[in-house]
Amino acid sequence: MSHPETLGVHAGREDFAELSVHAPPLDLSTTYPVRDLGVGTASFDALVGGKANAENPIYARLHNPTVARFEQALAQLEGTTDAVAFGSGMAALSACLLAAGQRGQHVLAVRPVYGTSDHLLDSGLLGIPVRWVKPSEIAEAVDADTALVMIETPANPTLELIDIAAVVKAAGDVPVLVDSTFATPVLQQPVKQGARLVMHSATKFLGGHGDVIAGVVACDDDWAKSLRQVRAATGGLLHPLGAYLLHRGLPTLALRVEKAQANAIEIATRLAAHPLVAKVSYPGLREDANARLVGTQMRGPGSLMAFEVLGGHAAAAQVMAAVRLATPAVSLGSVDTLIQHPAGLTHRTLDAGTQAECGITPGMLRLSVGIEHVEDIWNDLRDALQASVGAKVA
């Protein structure tokens, strides 16, 4: 198996025949009986030490078979040897930073990234400082104390694409972490470009239905061991019900991504021609500066875009208030269309100067196109844009 459509259906299900089941089992146990203390002690040591499994799971904070099946599936989809799941995307990033802190003194990161990721990195809350750099500055900025280089591509919320292979080359021996949430394994596999860690807010496309919060990092065995040690110590585990929902949803991931992407290509084209839209940022548009990486690094442009409404903040707010089919809410990658205002919501923690530096403007809206009929999506956006006419420029 190598195609994401097939892997999504079959990955992580290798033990189903042995268990005589067809659907993913759900194990909600918090603790497991220890009949043999010697086995229990050895299992405890193995799991706390970062092993993926042991003869006895001991306690759900250390191991859960439902979570493990989802991890196996995601690793196969990303082409890595392992994956580690967490209770949220931010828990996953926190674990990466804590593990990096054991390997070096600082992290290099490229803006823009998700607003809360930016806040966590910039705050130094976890004890490892970040140095913000441009992709062209990475080679010069890397030194013996650099623990990790982090990028997000496509970037949140501007949809800027970063050349992963070029970043990996510039980073040298320093591992590269790619937040690939917007792309999913269907459209992008960063490890093929040399990245060591691939992070997803699994809440988004992997979940796809707005009913589970989760994070996951696909990586090699060495990093997985470190991440499991952090997870065991900090309790950042993914609840088995969340893992069950994620694993159940993977068979339709490729279908959802492809349908939403097809809709997005049409919506972006129409928005770019609309007289009330000043700019559309979407890698699927020929004139977009990122188009060169579509078809090479990415299999397609995806279903996220950002567009600027004439009239600034007030007009953007009016569009959000006027939509009826689309949901005015944060998050993305759901089966339904979502629209939100980065400057006022997801990237609110960034100061005005940093927002401007990242290309986040008062009139920008981020659109996550769903799988509804494209004409229904367009009619809703068209009517909402018309409702913004006359809004006070801000």
The model carries a pTM of 0.96
pLDDT in the model for residue 376: 98
- What percentage of the chain reaches a pLDDT higher than 70? 98
Reply yes or no on domain 254-387 having CATH 3.90.1150.10: yes
Identical fold between 4-252 and 254-387: no
CA atoms within 13 A on the CB side of 147: 18
Angstrom distances, CA of residue 214 to CA of 204, 234, 243, 263, 339: 9, 16, 8, 26, 21
| 392 has pLDDT over 60 | no
Q: Give 1-41 pLDDT, tens digit per residue.
A: 679 999 999 999 999 999 999 999 999 999 999 999 999 99
Q: In 3-state terms, what secondary structure has residue 85?
A: strand
Mean pLDDT of the chain: 96
237 secondary structure, DSSP code: P
Q: Which residues contact 103 (CB under 8 A, 6 or more apart)?
A: 147, 148, 226
The domain 4-252: what is its CATH number? 3.40.640.10
Examine the pLDDT at 117 and tell me if it is beyond 70: yes
Residue 391's pLDDT is what? 59
Degrees, nearest 5: CA angle 250-255-256: 80
Cα gap 185→207, rounded to integer Å? 13
Span 305-332, pLDDT tens digits: 999 999 999 999 999 999 999 999 999 9
What is the 3-state composition of the chain as percent helix, strand, coil, each rounded to the nearest 5?
40, 15, 45
Domain boundaries, the chain: 4-252, 254-387
Q: What is the number of helices (H) and of strands (E) in the chain?
A: 15, 12
Crossing angle of the two packed helices 253-272 and 374-387, in degrees rounded to 10 = 40
Q: Give, for 130, the enclosing helix (H) or strand (E).
A: strand 130-132
Between CA 151 and CA 158, with CA 155 as vertex, the angle to 5 degrees is: 145
Count of CB atoms situated within 10 Å of the CB of 71:
26
